[in-house]
Structure 1
């Protein structure tokens, strides 16, 4: 098995059934929480940039000569998008000085659920990127979904804090 294949299926998460995209996102949350715990927001941010670059490379390699394909087992795009969504609460916790071993569950649960919503629903820019039909589109739609999910997570957090106050 090639390196691009191993990475594109995120070490086998993309082979799980049913719903490999959800499994890939769940694996991404687990690894993302570990990265946050080890090095807080800065490590998660660096890892997100790295996995995004690796994802573009792996998708281009795996989809070379296969225009319009987006095989369900390729989940490196979900990992990159999910980590973008996790960056938002991770930054908030880092900014306020919360210890890295503390990533309250509403933050990562909201990031996960909103990411899956936007990834499946594909509104606006997510859908436009998906419609490209090329390897970069496979990645870009999930990056947009991650951005929307991250913003949504922070909106929900702000609303929750307004209710608590």
Structure 2
């Protein structure tokens, strides 16, 4: 992020702080990967200390409010979907691990599957990424990548691979 854009945002602003994935999106390299990593403590916390319904409600809230959080931050930056905005990765990782029994194997597979779909953007993810804008556009491709990763990990669980 260049200095002119950086001057328009602040980690002291709670909306920007969340959009930047608690600051992880400001990593010089691979901010999406760092944003996904920043989601893991939340995944673990929700998986171990809440019911499925609480996990689901939090995930839905992260997605719905993420539309505004990402849209507002992009507007403040004057740049659509800057790579430093990683709240969508947080949402995608929460979706990926929905109803998945937590172990180091499932977390690793979930992380790898989500990053795979988020980076490669197979159709229809690529279509949405290119044609849908604003906060919804920032969020929807990662929500869909999370759903693809969730399907992959659930398939692996059904097959008994982990």
Q: TM-score with structure 2 length normalisation?
A: 0.84
Q: What is the RMSD of the two structures over their aligned residues, measured on CA atoms?
A: 2.0
Gaps of 5+ in 2: 1-9
Residues 67 and 133 of structure 1 are in contact (CA less than 8 Å); yes or no, is this contact kept in structure 2? no
Structure 2 residue 84 is the aligned partner of structure 1 residue 73: yes
Distance 1:40 1:108, change over 3 A: farther
1:16 aligns with 2:27: yes
Larger deviation, residues 138-147 vs 128-137 = 128-137
Please identify runs of 4+ aligned residues in structure 1 that moved more than 4 A: 65-68
Corresponding position: 1:82 with 2:93: yes
Q: 1:45 to 1:140 in 2, by over 3 A?
A: same
1 CA distance for matches of 2:111 and 2:93?
7
1:69-94 deviation line (CA, Å, top 9, x unaligned): 221110000011110001041xxx4x
Q: 2:144 aligned with 1:160, yes or no?
A: no
Alpha-carbon contact 1:69-1:133 (below 8 Å) kept: no
How far the C-alpha of 1:65 sits from its partner, in A, is: 7.8
**For this pair of structures, how many residues does the alignment match?**
150
Q: 1:25 aligned to 2:24?
A: no
Distance between the aligned counterparts of 1:126 and 1:88, measured in 2? 22
Kept in 1: contact 2:22–2:38 (CA 8 A): no
Is 1:35 equivalent to 2:46 in the alignment? yes
Q: TM-score, normalised by structure 1?
A: 0.82
In structure 1, the residue matched to 2:72 is 61
Whether the 8 Å CA contact 2:18–2:69 is kept in 1: the answer is yes
Q: Contact 2:71/2:138 (CA < 8 Å) preserved in 1?
A: no
Are the counterparts in 2 of residues 68 and 134 from structure 1 also a CA contact under 8 Å? no
Shift of 1:68: 7.1
Q: 1:125 to 1:67 in 2, by over 3 A?
A: farther
What is the match of residue 129 of structure 1? 128
Unaligned runs of 5+ in 1: 94-102
Q: 2:17 aligns with which of 6, 28, 46?
A: 6
